[in-house]
Structure 1
């Protein structure tokens, strides 16, 4: 029996890996006639070291995320797929992607790039994809290849 997904979440962080995930997610959502939620989580931990943190940092980060998400929607539309929504959240990406959004939106598949971090960031923060794979209640697809299953 083949599983059909109806609500697919794809996490975007601006990395090449997350863009691969987006491209595959559009094809999977189209094939399943699912709604695709393209999301970006603004990780406020990145601003903790800034001594003069204020709301403008979060506002600017949200604006940048919104601009990037518009480009991702255009990609979906170029591939004749319109059942797309965007979600921007502020928080810890691991928690937002594995727990908060799946529960809130009824997500049945989470798709993410293998890693958007460099080696040092993975050591210090841990891999978001690794955490989500272990803790999510829904299916998780960690994308390592492009749409044609090539590097």
Structure 2
């Protein structure tokens, strides 16, 4: 029996690993004729300890995320995915990715990079990916390889 996925979620944070997950998710969405939802979560906890908190910081992070997500949307459409969208969420990435969005959008597969940008959080409280694989309300595919299923490695200059 082949599993048919209809609603695929891809968390993106600007990391190389998230880009690999996105590229593989496009291929899976095409094979399954599925819709693709990208999400970038702005971890608002990171701003709580900044005494001179300024909304311009959040706006800058959001603007950068929008540019990245717009590029991904265009790439997905160019690859033949017609039903693709994104959202930018604010809060704790772990619960937003593993529970909130999957329930809200009836997600049946999360495709997530093995690691992301926040090495400090991984050391102190565990990775987002690890949490998502443990607590998600749907299937999770952790992407560790490139399009040719070779171990993910950044090329020089990236």
Same structural fold, with TM-score higher than 0.5 when normalized by the shorter chain: yes
Residues 56-76 of structure 1, C-alpha deviation per residue, up to 9 Å, x if partnerless?
222222221111100111221
Provide the rounded CA distance (Å) in 2 between the counterparts of 1:135 and 1:76.
28
| TM-score scaled by length of structure 2 | 0.90
Aligned to 2:96: 96
- Structure 1: which 4+ aligned runs deviate by more than 4 Å? none
Listed one character per residue, the Cα deviations across residues 78-134 of structure 1 (whole Å, up to 9, x for unaligned) are 222221011110011001000110011110000100001465431113110100000
Q: TM-score, normalised by structure 1?
A: 0.94
CA deviations over 1:30-49 (Å, ceiling 9, x no partner): 11000000110011122122
Q: What are the ranges of 5 or more consecutive residues in structure 2 without an aligned counterpart?
A: 152-158
- 3-state secondary structure, aligned to 1:142: strand
**Greater mean deviation of Cα atoms: 38-47 or 18-27:** 38-47
Gaps of 5+ in 1: none
Aligned residues: 151
Moved more, 80-89 or 118-127: 118-127
- In 2: Cα distance, 1:37 partner to 1:4 partner: 16
Determine the C-alpha separation between the residues in 2 that align with 1:56 and 1:118.
Answer: 21
Structure-1 separation of matches of 2:117 and 2:63: 22
Partners in 1 of 2:13 and 2:126 — Cα distance? 15
- Is 1:29 equivalent to 2:19 in the alignment? no
Corresponding residue of 1:68: 68
How far apart are 1:145 and its partner, in Å?
Answer: 0.4
Deviations 1:7-30 (A, max 9, x none): 000000100000000000000011
Quote the residue 1:136 is aligned against: 136
Q: Distance in 2 between matches of 1:58 and 1:118?
A: 17
